[in-house]
């Protein structure tokens, strides 16, 4: 029953994400997490004024939200086993689908690409500003395309493959379910994206969350790189470029996630970006064999989708063999 239910939940959660993504106006778990993080952070910043105080508060926030999110995911089992199995499975499917961002990532990219294809560059710049932290007001079409590829490739890990990895892993551990691990990882990712920035006032409060998210993402990131390199049919060349360039990025995961896409697509990512008027040079990843176009973004999105389908197939097959 457990493995069969997990298989059903994994498959239908992936289908729901593929077809529906996040319905507009629905309460999303990430919204709840963000609300809790905001309330706690504002409280801590108002009463904690030393580095050690804020770091301790950050550890409590990080572990507390991650563990609590996992417990919420696990508690859905109580509905499945003690009230109604079909209702429990339904809730697990919806909750797990909310952890995946495959369709949302694709829609965000297309939201910028469509006006750009129609020559409405100002509209494309405005829409891009909703998804990236860099200044977009003066970006050229080529710079917008580069920003999109970097966003798609980086978010492919923490928004798509990493939640899927933990969802599949949860099915193989007795007493743990897919939703619990995926939701716990989603909490870690949300913490990193909200308070994990290396700047005030979150430098100390978000330090633990940023480091812990890096740790949780390390394995799924490397597995994604390995999977994509195999799918490229030129794994030795692609991996050699990654080993050459990815360590240049200060992030233990972002450099690898961006570099694998750059290597496969034959493009170069990184370079000059402007944040609130301040110019920052990011390390160059990959070789500029081809220009970045809208087709490049489509190819990057398709690589992510194929990778997820492969992982899902392998995970479902493994669970079926164990059932």
Burial of 83 (0-12, 13-18, 19+ CB in 10 A): exposed
Between 78 and 183, the higher pLDDT residue: 183
On the question of pLDDT at 158 being above 70, the answer is yes
Does residue 181 surpass a pLDDT of 90?
yes
How much is the mean pLDDT over the chain?
92
Residue 1 has pLDDT above 60, yes or no: no
pLDDT of residue 76: 85
Please write down the HEC assignment for all residues of 39-98.
Answer: HHHHHHHHHCCCHHHHHHHHHHHHHHHHHHHHHHHHHHHHHHHHCCHHHHHHHHHHHHHC
What's the mean pLDDT in 102-119? 92
Radius of gyration, alpha carbons of the chain: 20
CA distances from 107 to 45, 121, 292, 303 (A): 35, 18, 19, 15
Tell me the per-residue pLDDT of 22-77, one tens digit each, with 9 for 90 and over: 666 677 899 999 999 999 999 999 999 899 999 999 999 999 999 999 999 998 87
pLDDT of residue 234: 96
d(C-alpha 192, C-alpha 212), whole Å: 9
Question: What are 53's two structure tokens?
Answer: 């105080």
Domain extent for 115: 2-322
For the chain, how many structural domains are there in total? Answer: 1
Residue 269's H or E segment, with its range, is strand 269-275
CA distance 321 to 191: 36
């Amino acid at each position: 029953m457990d493995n069969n239910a997990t298989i059903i939940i994994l498959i239908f959660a992936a289908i729901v994400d593929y077809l529906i993504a996040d319905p507009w106006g629905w309460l999303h778990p990430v919204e709840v997490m963000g609300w809790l993080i905001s309330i706690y952070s504002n409280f801590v910043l108002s009463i904690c004024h030393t580095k050690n105080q804020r770091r301790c508060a950050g550890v409590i926030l990080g572990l507390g939200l991650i563990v609590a999110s996992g417990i919420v995911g696990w508690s859905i089992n109580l509905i499945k086993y003690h009230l109604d199995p079909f209702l429990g499975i339904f809730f697990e499917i919806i909750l797990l689908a909310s952890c995946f961002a495959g369709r949302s990532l694709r829609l965000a990219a297309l939201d910028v690409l469509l006006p750009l294809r129609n020559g409405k560059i100002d509209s494309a710049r405005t829409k891009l500003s909703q998804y990236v932290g860099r200044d977009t007001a003066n970006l050229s079409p080529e710079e917008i395309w580069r920003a999109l590829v970097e966003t798609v490739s980086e978010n492919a890990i923490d928004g798509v493959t990493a939640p899927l990895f933990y969802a599949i892993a949860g099915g193989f551990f007795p007493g743990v379910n897919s939703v619990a691990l995926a939701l716990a990882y989603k909490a870690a990712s949300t913490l990193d994206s909200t308070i994990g920035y290396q700047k005030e006032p979150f430098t100390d409060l978000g330090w633990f969350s940023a480091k812990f998210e890096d740790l949780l993402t390390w394995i799924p990131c490397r597995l994604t790189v390995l999977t994509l390199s195999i799918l490229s049919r030129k794994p030795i060349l692609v991996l050699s470029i990654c080993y050459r360039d990815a360590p240049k990025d200060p992030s233990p995961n972002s450099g690898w996630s961006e570099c694998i896409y750059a290597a496969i697509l034959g493009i170069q990512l990184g370079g000059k970006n402007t944040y609130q008027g301040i110019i920052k040079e990011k390390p160059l990843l990959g070789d500029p064999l081809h220009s970045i176009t809208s087709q490049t973004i489509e190819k990057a999105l398709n690589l992510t989708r194929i990778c997820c389908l492969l992982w899902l197939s392998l995970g479902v097959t493994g669970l079926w063999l164990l059932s």
